[in-house]
Amino acid sequence: MSRLYLITGFLGAGKTTFLRRFVHLFEGQKVRLIVNEFGREGMDGQLLKDLRAVMQEISGGSIFCSCRLDQFEAALEQCGADETILVEASGLSDPTGVRRLFLQTGRFPQIHYEGSICLVDAVRFPKLYETARTCVRQLAASDVAVINKADKASKEQMEKTRAIIVGQRPDMPVVETVYGAFPEGFLDLIQERGARQTDMPLIADLSLRRMTVRLSERIGSYDLEMFIRMFAENTFRVKGFVATCDQGMVLVDCVGNTVSISPTAIEPPEEKTGILTILSGAKMPVYKAVREACRWYEMFVLSVENG
C-alpha cells in the first residue's frame, strides 16, 4: 500500500522549502514527487530534481480542476506498490475534493491518503484570506496548518494569522515554522489528524489573472529587477528562469512586492528559459502595470501573453 501526503498553501507560502525538509522524513523509502504548477512554465520541479525521488510535473492548471485532473490521475496510476507519494499542489488550487478522489471513487485502492498540510505566510495571510477564496478552501481541506515565515512577522501579525486559522478550523493543530522547519513528531500529527477528517465536495478553482512575458537574454540583472518592480506590487507571484547578459542564468522568485533575483546553477530546458509567469488576483491592475513596464523596457521584451 502506497501512502500519499498533500502539501497546499497559497502562492509564496514556502511549500517547496517545506517539501525539501519533509522529504527527508522518508529516507530509505521509495519516494515519488508530483509537483503541480498553475503557470504554464513549471519551475518548482527544476528546484526539486536534486532530491532522490521519482518526480512528475504537472503544469498549466490545478490538478484538482477538470483541465488537469486527468493528468493527476494518470500520474497516480503510474505509482508503484509501497511508495510514499508527496504532492505539492499549485498555490492557486482548491483541494477540497481530494478525499473524495481517494475514498469515494474507488479509483486508487492501492493508495492510502494520509492527509493534507496547509502552509500559510505569517505576514501576508490575513490580507490573502480576505481576497482569495482558495485560502479558505485550502484550510478547509487540511489536517495541519503550518504558519511559515514566523521570523518575519510581528507578534500582532502572528496573533491575527493564528486567530483566522483557529476561527475557521478550531479543531486543527497549528504549527509555527521558520523556513519550513517543523518540530519532531510532525508526521505523527498529520497521520492522526488525517484519519479523522471527513470528505468535502469538489468546488471550482480560484479565478485568477495570468500573464507570460518572454525576455531577451540581452537583459541585465539590474534592468530585470527594475522591470519587475514596476508591477510586482500588483501580483501574487512572479517566477521564472531568465538568462542575463551579466550574471548568466538567474532565478526570479517574487512574492508580492518582495523581488528576489539570484544566480542559479540550474539549467532549465530552452523552452522554459527567459519566461516570467505572472500571477495575480482579479482585482489587481496587473495588466496595465505589466504593459507599462514592457513599454519602458521594450528593447528586452520579446512577447507578452494573457491567460
State yes or no: pLDDT of 220 exceeds 90. yes
Which phi and psi angles does 178 have, rounded to 5°? Answer: -125, 125
For residues 149-171, give the mean pLDDT.
Answer: 93
State yes or no: pLDDT of 203 exceeds 50. no
For residues 242-252, give the mean pLDDT.
Answer: 96
Residues in the chain: 307
Q: pTM of the prediction?
A: 0.77
Residues of the chain with CATH 3.40.50.300: 2-194
Q: Looking at residue 130, what is its pLDDT?
A: 86
The arrangement of strands across the sheet holding 237-244 comes to 261-263, 248-255, 237-244, 275-280, 209-215, 301-306
**Between these two residues, 193 and 205, which has the higher pLDDT value?**
193
Q: Looking at residue 137, what is its pLDDT?
A: 87
pLDDT digits (tens, 9 = 90+) for 63-105: 887 678 888 999 999 998 899 999 999 888 888 878 778 876 6
Q: Looking at residue 205, what is its pLDDT?
A: 43
| Pairwise CA distance, residues 65 & 90, whole Å | 11
Write the CA distances from 88 to 126, 213, 282, integer angstroms: 22, 25, 24
CATH 3.40.190.10 corresponds to the domain 209-306: no
State yes or no: pLDDT of 168 exceeds 60. yes
pLDDT digits (tens, 9 = 90+) for 73-82: 999 999 988 9
State yes or no: pLDDT of 38 exceeds 80. no
For the ranges 8-17, 132-141, 180-189, 199-208, the lowest mean pLDDT is seen at: 199-208
Q: Looking at residue 217, what is its pLDDT?
A: 96
Q: What is the CATH number of domain 2-194?
A: 3.40.50.300
Q: Looking at residue 271, what is its pLDDT?
A: 87
CB atoms near residue 282 (< 10 Å): 11
For residues 140-165, give the mean pLDDT.
Answer: 95
Q: Name residue 26's amino acid.
A: F
For residues 136-163, give the mean pLDDT.
Answer: 94
Which phi and psi angles does 67 have, rounded to 5°? Answer: -70, -20
Residues of the chain with CATH 3.30.1220.10: 209-306
DSSP summary character for residue 52 = S
| Pairwise CA distance, residues 149 & 65, whole Å | 29
Q: Looking at residue 99, what is its pLDDT?
A: 77
State yes or no: pLDDT of 158 exceeds 90. yes
Which phi and psi angles does 2 have, rounded to 5°? Answer: -85, 160
Across the chain, mean pLDDT equals: 86
Q: Where do the DSSP E strands lie in the chain?
A: 2-9, 30-37, 54-59, 83-88, 111-121, 144-148, 174-176, 209-215, 237-244, 248-255, 261-263, 275-280, 301-306
Residue with cell 493508495: 111
Q: Which residues contact 192 (CB under 8 A, 6 or more apart)?
A: none
Q: Which of 37-46, 161-170, 279-288 has the highest mean pLDDT?
A: 161-170
For residues 260-289, give the mean pLDDT.
Answer: 87
